[in-house]
Amino acid sequence: MTARSASSPRERLRVMISCGEPSGDLYAGALASEVLKLEPDAEISGFGSERLRSAGATLVRDFKGLSVTGLTEALRVIPRSWQNYRALVRAAEAQPPHVFVPIDFPDFNFFVARALHKRGIPIVYYISPQLWAWRRGRLNTMKRVVDRVLVIFPFEAPFYEQAGVPVTFVGHPIVVIAAESREAIAAAKRAIVIDIEELEPVFTIEEAKRRKLFIGPTRAIRSMAVATSDGVGM
């Protein structure tokens, strides 16, 4: 796959990404960077924080201050969460993205995904919630509103296949990110269930570079966008 020329008359690829916590922002920033390598003129927007912004995306809203540790704090952030939701939906209505990419954070992202699905925007869920471990009832939501789930662990693919949800295994991005950032390793250990050391037998850092793990989700996202817009070509 090659990037299209900036002078191409075809419509620019528009991708909206939504994450709501530092680990998601880490992956969102890396994904946005990879999209822009393949599509330098792509327009990336969404809900995130510093890493997504520094990768070249335009933030509709920043999630700073939304982390909660108890019921009192959760109640406190409800008005702001609603404002963030409405801001994303309005932004998508004003300039519909070719694809919406929620990253984990299901309590917020499921609401946005449902709203954008109703508006005909394809949904590609990257780094899906751990539905295989808890709240399996949310599978029904996945089946109704998500066009494809991009999973990062091999065992997740059969789980979604059995449920009738279109799924693609793309590998875990943290081994690629960790190759360039010690800070990312620390963030990964705080953010994911399986430590980076447990991932390495599956994907060493060198193997991850060879396989170019971010190409998988980027191609899937771009393909979904192409399918919904005559103006975006391969």
Instruction: Say yes or no to pLDDT of 116 above 80.
Output: yes
Instruction: Look up the CATH superfamily of 14-227.
Output: Glycogen Phosphorylase B; (3.40.50.2000)
Highest mean pLDDT among 135-149, 167-181, 216-230: 135-149
DSSP 11: P
| Mean pLDDT estimate for the chain | 76
Closest CA to 126 of 49, 198, 33, 24: 24
Instruction: Note whether 165 and 139 are within 8 A (CB).
Output: yes
pLDDT at 2 over 50: no
Percentage of the chain beyond pLDDT 70 is 62
Strand order across the beta sheet in which 58-62 lies: 58-62, 43-48, 14-18, 99-102
CB-facing half-sphere around the CA of 189: CA atoms within 13 A? 8
pLDDT, residue 107, reads: 85
Confidence (pLDDT) at 186: 54
Higher pLDDT, 38 or 14: 14
CA 74 to chain centre: 23
Identify the three-state secondary structure at position 19.
coil
C-alpha closest to that of 113 among 148, 83, 137: 148
24 versus 212: which is more confidently predicted? 24
Please give the pLDDT value at position 175: 55
More confident residue, 173 or 149: 149
pLDDT tens per residue, range 46-105: 999 999 999 999 999 999 866 544 444 455 678 888 999 999 999 999 999 999 999 999
